[in-house]
Structure 1
Amino acid sequence: MAERLAAVMAPGHEPASGFVAETQNNSGQALLNSITQMMAFAQSYLGGLDQTEQAYGAQETSGSQTFQNGMR
């Protein structure tokens, strides 16, 4: 929907139509930029969660092995 908003064409060739279309295009582009930034943030956040999960799993495995070795 944001892409459609960024591509609004003026219905007529008078100043009012051009002004409205330009305003809509600017709003649509700003919305697209916001969506792109939020997607980048979300991808970065998910990447960090994946790294944390892997580190936690490695520590859990190491701790389990240490515990099992101490039981022998």
Structure 2
Amino acid sequence: MSPREYGERLAGFGVSPEEVEFLVELFASLLDGHNAHVSEGVRQVLGHAPRDFGDYAREAAAAGAWAV
């Protein structure tokens, strides 16, 4: 979903136009790809190489992490 579509849904839930505008701009900025790189911080903190979140989520789902 694009930030604009998200904003339209928020507006549909009664979120004020000012808040919608702020959140749309915030998410557009956060999700524009400029932070999409791997750094050494994970390795330094956890002691192992970082993993792709998509891989983690697929493995967790297959293991039943979100089973009801």
Q: TM-score, normalised by structure 2?
A: 0.35
In terms of fraction of residues, the more helix-rich structure is 1
Q: TM-score, normalised by structure 1?
A: 0.33
Structure label with greater radius of gyration:
1
